[in-house]
Chain A
Amino acid sequence: MSPFFTLLARDIKLAARSGGSAFLALSFFALVATLVPLGVGADLRLLARVGGGVLWVGAVLAALLSLDRLFQGDFEDGSLDLIALSPLPLELTALAKMLAHWLSTGAALTLLSPLLALLFNLPPAATLTLFLSLLLGTPAVSAVGAIGASLTLSLKRGGLILPLIILPLLSPAVIFGAGAVSLTLDRLASGGALGLLAAFSAGAVLLSPFAAAASVRLNLGG
């Protein structure tokens, strides 16, 4: 197997095993979706109206939970130094870690979202839009998040500062993602919003390996 896929498989395995992040992210997502009706009331029409936005915010926050460990664990036990010394360019290392994070959180959250949409009384068309928007948008969360994770990888309390850094940068994903669901609810075409969301994701995935690699490099003192 090529180094890229070896690293990818290793990170996915770490996320899936006990104490890994995938299950925690899914539980967190489901819990947010449970608490919101308790907070705003169980009016099904209201829940359908806010459902898209709530599930989008919940998905972003759930993906954020495990993000601070993206590079930190490997940095602390020294394996990041070895990975950096391997023939795999650091940019591809960052991409592999990003992809592993997306597969273990973003993709899993996307698969869970139709079930939670049911709890929010979203009509089938809006559920489909929510599913598509999460599928297109969560890669941006992992990509922008990887920049934040690499910037804070040497910090002991990196998990506290990470949301402050990346949530403002992720606001377009929430706006377009939740916006697409609202458009569908209003029986309008959501293609434009989904297209912009996909463009944002593509740009983020394309550019962030370079930014993340640069900040990993400076943290390794190179």
Chain B
Amino acid sequence: MNWLFRYANPHNFMRLSNVLLPITAVATALCLGVGLYLGFTVPPDYQQGSTVLLLFIHVPADVAAEAAYGAIAICSLLSLVWRHPLSDIAGRAAAPFGAVFTALGLITGALWGKPMWGTYWVWDARLTSFLLLLFLFFGYMALWNAIEDEVRAARAAAILALVGVVNIPIIKFSVDWWSTLHQGESIVSGKIAPVYLAPLLIMMLGYILLFVSLWMLRIRTVILERRARTLMQRSAA
């Protein structure tokens, strides 16, 4: 665990992210560029026609949204159990990106649903659980903003995030059991055609890298803001 606590010190994190951020940013641009190019050049699907393009925008957004919640959960565990100071900032910083990716997944899904299912929205298991995930992100952010004392806010938000982790599988199974239209999993089981798989995987990597880059940038900004505040308080005193 030692390497983890090296980066509890904001200074070490700033040094590391200073090197990493340009790399992930360039990799994001590459992945999204190549992925979109490949996505636009794939043959149209025999059923879905050209709307198969949405596959490369919609699925990675959902993956990135889930990754963001996972990131918040890990940060919350670190912050509650080991009082890791940087993970408080990191958890809070990840939430807006998670919410945006969730919203993006819902919107692109609605736009895909209209031509394919004939409706923008159905109360289907996957859609409903993603809508609930969006509200979980909102609740997490609202709790963070509502409590003024930052240390307390961090720990309260961390407890909420961990309760959410216990509950997310239950929510998922309950809505799965409830009603379903959305297609099942098709990537790991190899049901997806290889010509679509390559751009999809590249786009997924691109979205994840985009999330990681923005996340690092946000954490850096928060650390710099805090330093600036401390300097101002010092000069005022």
Say how far B177's CB is from chain A's closest CB, in angstroms: 8
Determine whether the beta carbon of A165 is less than 8 Å from that of B175.
no
Question: In the docked arrangement, what's the CA distance between A157 and B143, Å?
Answer: 11
Determine whether the beta carbon of A219 is less than 8 Å from that of B152.
yes
Query: Which of B80, B146, B166, B178: most chain A Cβ within 10 A?
Result: B146
Interface size on A, residues (CB 8 A): 29
Interface residues as binary, A197-214 with B (CB distance below 8 Å gives 1, 0 otherwise) = 000100100011001001
Determine whether the beta carbon of A179 is less than 8 Å from that of B178.
yes
Determine whether the beta carbon of B156 is less than 8 Å from that of A215.
yes
Within B168-214, which residues are at the interface with A (CB < 8 Å)? 170-171, 174-175, 177-178
Determine whether the beta carbon of A218 is less than 8 Å from that of B170.
no
Determine whether the beta carbon of A155 is less than 8 Å from that of B139.
no
Pick from B135, B162, B171: contact of A172, CB below 8 A: B171
Question: In the docked arrangement, what's the CA distance between A168 and B131, Å?
Answer: 9
Residue of B nearest to A214 (CB): B159
Q: Which secondary structure dominates where chain B touches chain A?
A: helix
Residue of B nearest to A172 (CB): B174
Say how far A139's CB is from chain B's closest CB, in angstroms: 15
Query: Which of B135, B147, B174: most chain A Cβ within 10 A?
Result: B174
Contact status of A196 and B160, CB under 8 A, knowing A164-B142, A167-B135, A168-B135: no
Interface residue A154 (Cβ < 8 Å from any Cβ of B): yes
Chain A residues, CB < 8 A from B80: 214
Interface residue B218 (Cβ < 8 Å from any Cβ of A): no
Within B78-94, which residues are at the interface with A (CB < 8 Å)? 80
Determine whether the beta carbon of B160 is less than 8 Å from that of A165.
yes
Interface size on B, residues (CB 8 A): 27
Question: In the docked arrangement, what's the CA distance between A13 and B156, Å?
Answer: 30
Chain B residues, CB < 8 A from A214: 80, 159
Chain B residues, CB < 8 A from A165: 139, 142-143, 160
Interface residue A175 (Cβ < 8 Å from any Cβ of B): yes
Determine whether the beta carbon of A169 is less than 8 Å from that of B174.
no
Contact status of A147 and B163, CB under 8 A, knowing A171-B171, A179-B178, A218-B152: yes
Interface residue A161 (Cβ < 8 Å from any Cβ of B): yes
Interface residues as binary, A13-26 with B (CB distance below 8 Å gives 1, 0 otherwise) = 00000000000000
| A residues apposed to B, CB below 8 Å | 144, 147, 151-152, 154-155, 157-158, 161, 164-165, 167-169, 171-172, 175-176, 179, 196, 200, 203, 207-208, 211, 214-215, 218-219
14 extra A-B contacts, CB within 8 A, seeds A168-B171, A200-B174 = A144-B163, A152-B143, A154-B152, A161-B143, A161-B146, A164-B138, A165-B143, A169-B171, A172-B167, A172-B170, A172-B171, A196-B174, A196-B177, A215-B156
